[in-house]
Chains A and B, each alone.
Chain A
Amino acid sequence: MTTDANTMQFEYIVEGGNFTRAGYASSEIKKILKQLNVDLAIIKRTVVACYEAEVNVVAHSYGGTIFVDIDHQSIRIKLVDDGPGIPDVNLAMQEGFSTASSKVREMGFGAGMGLPNIKKNADLFEISSELTKGTTLEITMFLQ
């Protein structure tokens, strides 16, 4: 974390394939937003979007980093992963589309609601992906 009077930054490392830790970063972010007295409805949407995105990194990549940037106007969460990338982002954005293995589905993940659901909960949603390199997802929530 770096400090500056008006913005705060946090970083979380996400381990690929480790579902027992999936959600840790989202929980930490939730705690921070609660302490900052962010509106409860915004916290709810942020955490749902962030959790889905974090699980995506665990499920589909070799690992990644979550960068969180908060000021009094917005919360920006950027998830950068090293992974195979998404071959067709438009297809992945469709509800019900899923590449999850049966092992992942057994754990209750991989219903193909991930990306559309993140988009639904976020105020701004940006995704870029490069095959064999990885995916970058950026979620912005407005506080005003």
Chain B
Amino acid sequence: MAEKYFHHALKFQKEDCIGCSHCMNVCPTQAIRIHGGKANLTDNRCVDCGKCYSACPVGAIIVEQDDFSRIFAYDYRVALVPNVLFGQFPEKVSVDQIHRVLHDLGFTHIFEVELGTRILKGSMLEYLITHSESKPLISTFCPAIVRLIQVRFPALTENLILLKSPLDITATYIRKKFSDQGIDSTQTGIFYITPCAANIAAVKSPVGGYLSDIDGVINMDFIFNKVYTSMKQGLLGKGKGQIQGGISLCRDEMLWALTEGEASLMPGRSLAIDETGNVIEFLERMENEEHCNIDFLELRACDQSCAGGILTSGNRFFTVERLRKLAAKTAEATALAGDAKTKDSIENYSDFLLKHIGVNKVLPRSMDKLDEDMKRAMLKMQMVREIMKSLPYVDCGLCGSPTCNALAQDIVQGQADITRCIFIQKKYEQNNWLSYSESMEILKQIWGKDKFGEK
């Protein structure tokens, strides 16, 4: 068994899986196979993009979160909130009302995830200058993209900007600030409200050799339901919870997590690309050209970036619209209020945060290679090509592998037999190399007996 590189927040629940293969067909890294009537995940190929989660028709794929009651293990319970949450609700629901619901749920403090961008932005601008030989430099904001590059574009790991995400910077800030106030660190619980699975994986096993300051992760849909219930029951704004007064972010910070959020702030030629399929298509082309003359790439796994996160509940286009409006409004308000809010803020900790902002080199984890040893890899490639001659190039997926080529590779790696292919089965039956009942048995092994009316 190969070494397990990644923690995954996406969990396939065998008992609920109906083996429909929808997830297998949308997986951008071909990490899923169907066997025994169930979807099976190859851990090291999965990048936690969550396409499978959205494609599953029966909710058999879940995003593992921490039990909410865990927050009560701490005296100081911090909710780390990305502002995508505010875009989930109709405009009449105010930020203060959402904060109040969070307080009523038991959080004692609320911080905005994007605070960290205030520290990160300067570091990124500097990084672009000091690392210009590795252009185009690629943002590490989206953890699914970092993992995608590790497994599918290993050579581009050298282009990744080795700085912490705003989320980690903000968490470090909170921990430091609380401990400076004399609060026992073991009594401070920082809980991140996540719009996606990839960020959970990033918190549980960060890429880049550091430990996250975040203690737990709560899925955004859980909070969404709490706020919505409050709204529907007419209880919004009636809670007892304290509110700490709206948004303290400036416009750029508010829009950071949306598409163009970073690219629009970086100098030179910057591109923003969202949605995993688009990113793969672009990187495939970019790998060929040495002089593509791009300085900075903002790549995000989800369509509309974090507004399209798999754990968001609102329509992503409305979310973007609302956040843009909110950002414009906030910009006005901040201009009026002057810098009253900067007291005791993250800037006071910038020296400390900048000292800890770097991360280790992100290592390539190529999953394309057929074998570590080149001679054996060549032999396997020849076998794959030989097998491909008899496969139909239809990519029907009936064999339980996503494409004919994937099946050929599975065969060569000893994980499948060529008779899984329905075309081969028909051919073998015709030549009496395989009996009808044998070929039925193969299909049942792949898709499960119940699909054929058997228990």
Contacts and interface: CB of A to CB of B under 8 A. Distances in A.
Interface of A: 1, 3, 5-6, 8, 23, 26-27, 30-32, 34-38, 40-41, 43-44, 47-48, 51, 70-72, 111, 113, 117, 121, 143
Interface in B272-289: 284-285, 287-289
B155 interface: yes
Nearest to B385: A1
A117 B366 contact: no
Given A3-B386, A40-B154, A44-B155, A30 B287 contact: yes
B372 interface: yes
A38 B377 CA distance: 10
21 contacts: A6-B378, A8-B381, A27-B288, A34-B366, A35-B369, A36-B369, A36-B374, A36-B378, A37-B370, A37-B372, A40-B154, A40-B364, A43-B155, A47-B287, A47-B288, A48-B288, A48-B289, A70-B378, A72-B374, A111-B291, A117-B290
B382 A3 contact: yes
Contacts of B91: none
Nearest to B368: A34
Contact of B291 (A5, A31, A113): A113
A81 to B, nearest CB: 19
B371 interface: yes
B386 A35 contact: no
Interface in B349-385: 364, 366, 368-375, 377-379, 381-382, 385
B368 A35 contact: yes
A72 B374 CA distance: 7
Interface of B: 154-155, 284-285, 287-291, 364, 366, 368-375, 377-379, 381-382, 385-386
Given A36-B374, A40-B364, 5 more contacts: A1-B385, A27-B288, A34-B366, A37-B372, A47-B288
Contacts of B386: 3
Contacts of A71: 378
Given A5-B379, A43-B155, A51-B288, A38 B366 contact: no
In the A-B complex, the 5 residue pairs with the closest CB atoms: A37-B369, A34-B368, A48-B290, A51-B288, A40-B155
Contact of A36 (B154, B288, B290, B377): B377
B368 A38 contact: no
A98 B381 CA distance: 39
Contacts of A117: 290
Nearest to A117: B290
B375 A72 contact: yes
Contacts of B378: 6, 8, 36, 70-72
Contacts of A48: 288-290
Nearest to B285: A23
A8 B370 contact: no
B280 to A, nearest CB: 12
A30 B288 CA distance: 8
A32 to B, nearest CB: 7
A13 B285 CA distance: 19
With most chain A CB atoms within 10 A of its CB, the pick from B287, B371, B386 is: B287
Nearest to B377: A36
A1 B372 CA distance: 23
A10 to B, nearest CB: 9
Contacts of A113: 291
Nearest to A4: B382
Contacts of A8: 378, 381-382
A23 B288 CA distance: 7
A35 B377 contact: yes
Given A32-B381, A40-B154, A40-B155, A143 B366 contact: no
Contacts of B285: 23
Contacts of A27: 284, 288
Contacts of A40: 154-155, 364, 366
A47 B370 CA distance: 19
Contact of B288 (A26, A32, A121): A26
B368 A31 contact: yes
A121 B372 CA distance: 25
A36 B368 CA distance: 8
A38 B287 CA distance: 15
B33 to A, nearest CB: 18
A57 to B, nearest CB: 15
A54 B386 CA distance: 27
A36 B364 contact: no
Contacts of A47: 287-288
Nearest to A47: B288
A34 B381 contact: no
A143 B368 contact: no
